[in-house]
Structure 1
Amino acid sequence: MRKTLTATAFVLAAALLTGCGGGEEKPADTGKAASSASPQAEKSEESGGSGVSEGPSHEVTIKIEGEGTGIVMYTLDESETPKVTLPWSKTATIAARGAEQEVGRLVIAAPGHMMTADGTYAPRATCSIVFDGKTVVDTKKDPGKPCSYKFK
């Protein structure tokens, strides 16, 4: 079990590191006229400032089912580890950006240990990923395992 949790932590850490970067700090306005920027640069700044192309948007839902309260680790539109009460789900509209359109974008959900109200361990939680209305990953036959799905 410890090896599974360690492996899950490494996978999530890699996903977090892969998703980081590109957040350059913009210098303060130096008073230059807006007309000096090219129309393409203005368009890029209006759409987020990165100038990175984006693929089609997809609605993705991650679900953790079971009982109890505990920590869930996930990477969807952001990467977080919230404390939740089961059943729990999160939906986001996301798209592959830049190089992700070639190598794929990874969605991950991993249930941690859940505790019941009386402080005992709850049975292992299951997870699933729904991609554009279709369930693409489900761990009902293997509770406690993390879910992952890569799309381009």
Structure 2
Amino acid sequence: MRKTATLTISLLAAAALLTGCGSEKKDAGPAKAGDAPASAQASGGAKGVAQEKKGVPHKVVFEVGGTGASQVMWIGSTNHFEQVTLPWTKTESMQLEDAELKVGVTVSVVPGSVKGPDGMLKAAPCTIKVDGKQVADNQGGKSAEPCKYKLKD
């Protein structure tokens, strides 16, 4: 019985010590007139706390031309890879945030192969449009390069 009581007291003391170790406040003295309350600090209302910055929303349209089926990979707000029926279009709304506002984000579409007029496989034609303006293409499939564009605000 004595062992159980000693163990229980030890565990309670350890728990009390551990709960105090995570405290950010080093001085538990009286609050000063300029101190922000904890709720303001958590919500970002205090000076020196970084505010999340967001850019304007953009409509990004990925297109791959041709007929039949093909593999398509596109990178917008996330990465995707799937088998699609051509012609194919995907529209995403993207809004840059924080560091992306300075460096931008690369969006791209990598079309699979389609059969050309000569029977040989070639890259399918692709385009990217941002807010209605065409910003990238692979010259109707003449270039083997994927369509890519650096989206910036």
Judge same fold: TM > 0.5, yes or no: yes
Greater per-residue strand proportion: 2
Matched position secondary structure for 2:123: coil
Structure 1 residue aligned with 2:101: 101
Structure 2 residue aligned with 1:125: 124
Structure 1 residue aligned with 2:139: 140
Cα pair distance change 1:132/1:146, threshold 3 Å: same
CA distance in 1, matches of 2:127, 2:109: 8
Structure 2 residue aligned with 1:149: 149
State the TM-score, normalized to the length of structure 1: 0.60
Count of residues paired in the alignment: 107
CA distance in 1, matches of 2:108, 2:64: 11
CA contact 1:71–1:114 (8 Å) conserved in 2 = no
- Cα drift, residue 145 of structure 1: 2.7
CA distance in 2, matches of 1:73, 1:104: 20
Structure 2 residue aligned with 1:38: 39
CA distance in 1, matches of 2:103, 2:95: 13
- Cα drift, residue 140 of structure 1: 2.6
- Cα drift, residue 76 of structure 1: 1.2
- Cα drift, residue 42 of structure 1: 5.6
CA deviations 1:15-66 (Å, max 9, x no partner) are xxxxxxxxxxxxxxxxxxxxx97367469xxxxxxx7422110111010011
CA contact 1:108–1:147 (8 Å) conserved in 2 = yes
- Cα drift, residue 124 of structure 1: 2.9
CA RMSD of aligned residues (A): 2.8
- Structure having greater relative contact order (Cα 8 Å, sep ≥ 6): 1
* Structure number with bigger Rg: 2
